[in-house]
Structure 1
Amino acid sequence: MTMTEPVVSAPFFLRGESVEGRQATHRSRDLGVVFATPTIDLDRAVYPRTEVPPLLDVPLTEIIDFLVETGLRIRDPENPFVRECIERMAATHVLPRAVLHQQVHGATGYLDKRLLETVVEQNFPDPRALDEWVPKQDFTGRRSFVRAFAPRLVHVLPGNSPGVAVKSIAQGALVKAVNLFKMPSSDPFTTVAILRTMAGIDPGHPVVKSMSAVYWRGGDESVERVLYRPQYFDKIVAWGGGDAIDNVVKYLGPGLQLVSFDPKTSISMVGREAFASGAALDDAAQRAASDVMILNQEACVASRIVYVEADYAAADRFCERLHAHIAEKAAASGDARPLDPDLREEIDALAMLDDEFRVWGRTDGKGLVIRSDEPVDFHPINKTVDVVRVNSLDDAMKYVNVATQTVGFYPFERMPDYRDRLAAGGAQRIVRLGDAGPSTIGNPHDAMYPLHRFVHWMAHEDGQHP
Structure 2
Amino acid sequence: MMEGLRDIPIVARGRIIMPSAGDMVEFKGRGGASFRSPDPHRHIHDLVLGNPAQLADLNDLKMASIIEFLAAAGKRLRLEDNAYLQDSFELALKAGGLAEPILRGVYDELPNLFDGDMLTAMAESTIGIAYLDGWVPARAPNEHVRVRAVGTRQLHITAGNVPVVAALTVVRGALTKSDILIKSPSNDPLTANAIARTLIDLDAGHPLVKHIAVGYWKGGDEQMDSQIVRTSRIDKITAWGGMSSVKHIQKFLSPGIDLTALNPKYSMSVIGADALSSDEAMDEAATGLSVISGFFNQTACTNTRIVYVESDTDAASIERLV
- After TM superposition, the score normalised by the length of structure 1 is 0.64
Within-5 A mapping of 1:60-79: 60-75=63-78, 77-79=80-82
Change in 2 beyond 3 A, CA 1:143/1:43: same
Compute the displacement of 1:225 (Å).
0.3
Change in 2 beyond 3 A, CA 1:313/1:219: farther
Asked whether the 8 Å contact 1:294–1:301 carries over to 2, the reply is: no
Compute the displacement of 1:32 (Å).
4.2
State how far apart, in whole Å, the 1-side matches of 2:66 and 2:98 are: 32
Within-5 A mapping of 1:343-358: none
Compute the displacement of 1:251 (Å).
1.3
Within-5 A mapping of 1:108-257: 108-124=111-127, 126-136=128-138, 139=141, 143-257=144-258
Aligned position for 1:7? 5
Q: Does 1:44 align with 2:46?
A: yes
State how far apart, in whole Å, the 1-side matches of 2:39 and 2:33 are: 19
Specify the code of the residue in structure 1 equivalent to 2:61.
V
State how far apart, in whole Å, the 1-side matches of 2:163 and 2:169 are: 10
State how far apart, in whole Å, the 2-side matches of 1:63 and 1:50 are: 19
Specify the code of the residue in structure 2 equivalent to 1:131.
D
Asked whether the 8 Å contact 1:130–1:175 carries over to 2, the reply is: yes
Q: Higher helix proportion, which one?
A: 2
State how far apart, in whole Å, the 2-side matches of 1:26 and 1:317 are: 52
2:112 is paired with a residue whose SS is helix
Which deviates the most, 310-319 or 251-260?
A: 310-319
Asked whether the 8 Å contact 1:180–1:211 carries over to 2, the reply is: yes
Aligned position for 1:81? 84
1:212 is paired with a residue whose SS is strand
Asked whether the 8 Å contact 2:73–2:198 carries over to 1, the reply is: yes
Structure 1, residues 236-263: CA drift from partner, whole Å, max 9, x if none? 0111111121111111121011012111
State how far apart, in whole Å, the 1-side matches of 2:225 and 2:245 are: 12
Q: Does 1:35 align with 2:35?
A: yes
Compute the displacement of 1:12 (Å).
1.9
Asked whether the 8 Å contact 1:179–1:212 carries over to 2, the reply is: yes
Specify the code of the residue in structure 2 equivalent to 1:70.
A
Structure 1, residues 80-123: CA drift from partner, whole Å, max 9, x if none? 11111111222211212332222122143221122111211221
1:8 is paired with a residue whose SS is strand
1:36 is paired with a residue whose SS is strand
1:74 is paired with a residue whose SS is coil
State how far apart, in whole Å, the 2-side matches of 1:302 and 1:316 are: 26
Which deviates the most, 142-151 or 229-238?
A: 142-151
State how far apart, in whole Å, the 2-side matches of 1:44 and 1:26 are: 20
Asked whether the 8 Å contact 1:154–1:182 carries over to 2, the reply is: yes
Aligned position for 1:296? 297
Within-5 A mapping of 1:222-371: 222-310=223-311, 311=313
Compute the displacement of 1:182 (Å).
0.4
Q: Does 1:94 align with 2:92?
A: no
State how far apart, in whole Å, the 2-side matches of 1:44 and 1:51 are: 16
2:307 is paired with a residue whose SS is strand
Change in 2 beyond 3 A, CA 1:77/1:32: closer
Provide structure 2 residue ranges, at least 5 long, that are not aligned to the other structure: none
2:260 is paired with a residue whose SS is strand
Specify the code of the residue in structure 1 equivalent to 2:49.
Y
Structure 1, residues 268-311: CA drift from partner, whole Å, max 9, x if none? 11122222111101000001111101211111111012122345
Change in 2 beyond 3 A, CA 1:178/1:232: same
State how far apart, in whole Å, the 2-side matches of 1:315 and 1:160 are: 36
Asked whether the 8 Å contact 1:11–1:189 carries over to 2, the reply is: no
State how far apart, in whole Å, the 2-side matches of 1:158 and 1:318 are: 36
State how far apart, in whole Å, the 2-side matches of 1:194 and 1:222 are: 27
Compute the displacement of 1:61 (Å).
0.6
Change in 2 beyond 3 A, CA 1:229/1:315: farther
Compute the displacement of 1:316 (Å).
5.8
2:131 is paired with a residue whose SS is helix
Specify the code of the residue in structure 2 equivalent to 1:96.
A
1:268 is paired with a residue whose SS is strand
Structure 1, residues 203-234: CA drift from partner, whole Å, max 9, x if none? 11111111000011111011000000111111
- After TM superposition, the score normalised by the length of structure 2 is 0.91
Structure 1, residues 170-223: CA drift from partner, whole Å, max 9, x if none? 010011101100000011100010011111111111111110000111110110
State how far apart, in whole Å, the 2-side matches of 1:144 and 1:229 are: 31
State how far apart, in whole Å, the 2-side matches of 1:142 and 1:304 are: 49
Structure 1, residues 7-40: CA drift from partner, whole Å, max 9, x if none? 2332221111222216112222x42432221112
2:46 is paired with a residue whose SS is helix
Provide structure 1 residue ranges, at least 5 long, that are not aligned to the other structure: 320-466
State how far apart, in whole Å, the 1-side matches of 2:223 and 2:101 are: 37
Aligned position for 2:19? 21
